[in-house]
Amino acid sequence: MEDALLAWYGEHARDLPWRRTRDPYAILVSEVMLQQTQVARVVPRYRAWLERWPTADDLANASMADVLREWQGLGYNRRALNLRRAAQYIAAQGWPEDLTELPGVGRYTADAVARFAYEQDVLPIDTNVRRVTNRTGARFGPAAAHALMDLGATICLARIPRCPTCPLADRCPSRGSTYAPLRKQSRFEGSFRQRRAQTLRLVSERPRRFSQLDGEAVEALRKEGFLALEGDRVQLAEFSPS
């Protein structure tokens, strides 16, 4: 099966900018951005991010306000906070042998950096890879990592797989199957998540008075380490006035 998959990948590989580098920092940025965000949205933001902060040292020295402003639109701001913290760790101590020691880096992200930057003999298991392996029942080696990701993203889809165009269909026990709808994320518009995002955006522009903001959102962001409250003044937790 792997030979057929790799042959298909040779003709249908997605041309993604993070696949043209072995820089572990650039790959870490891409993997963090890709968490719960579509590839098409990530590509331009990834390029802009690396143009602004091309190294971990550059990001480590960036202000929290600048990082959050650059992250706007990607969602889940804690990813930006953890990425900056990881850069600070790397700038101070270098890359750890166990990449899960980096803030916000779990097993998948650590394996992805290990594979794509250092070419270690490990297969990163993301949602797409897991779906393909579960449906086919086959075992694939690390060399098939990008191919599995692309197959899962474009052919072996979650609900209605495109089996007639799949290079593995002839030997796949799940061929022709459809699947129940995945649980959808709650609506963003009008949600508390939106209120939090709006509040964080306002404070990242400049400190604000508590009375000017959504108090419930401020309190949630304060508990999460994003904001600090001094009297009636709300500011980023690491904000340093000029």
- Specify if 13 maps to a domain: no
- What's the number of domains the chain is made of? 2
Q: What is the CATH number of the domain that holds 37?
A: 1.10.340.30
What is the pLDDT at residue 183? 66
Amino acid of residue 72: Q
Beta bridge partners of residue 209, listed in sequence order = 233
Tell me the residue range of the domain where 40 lies. 23-116
- Decide if 181 is inside a domain: no
User: What's the confidence (pLDDT) of residue 39?
Assistant: 95
Of 84, 116, 148, at which residue does a domain stop? Answer: 116
- Classify residue 121: in a domain, yes or no: no
Cα separation, 58 vs 128, in Å, equals: 32
Q: How far is the C-alpha of 87 from the C-alpha of 54, rounded, in Å?
A: 11
- Say if 198 falls within a structural domain: yes
In a domain, 203, yes or no: yes
Residue 28 confidence (pLDDT): 98
Domain stops at, among 65, 85, 116: 116
Q: Where are the alpha helices (DSSP H) in the chain?
A: 2-12, 24-34, 39-52, 56-60, 64-71, 78-93, 107-116, 127-136, 145-154, 192-205, 215-223
The token duo for 59 is 């990001």
pLDDT by residue for the chain (242 residues), tens only, comes to: 999 999 999 999 999 999 999 999 999 999 999 998 899 999 999 999 999 999 999 999 999 889 998 998 888 888 999 999 999 999 999 999 999 999 999 999 999 999 999 999 999 999 999 999 999 999 999 999 999 999 999 999 999 999 999 999 999 999 999 998 766 666 767 788 788 888 988 998 889 999 899 999 899 898 888 888 888 899 888 743 33
Q: Which of 11, 31, 189, 224 is catalytic?
A: 31
Instruction: Give catalytic status of residue 2 as yes or no.
Output: no
CB 80 within 8 A of CB 71: yes
58 part of a folded domain: yes
Positive or negative torsion for Cα 89, 93, 95, 101? negative
Specify the pLDDT at position 241.
Answer: 35
Q: Is residue 185 part of a domain?
A: no
Q: Give the end of a domain, one of 116, 148, 165.
A: 116
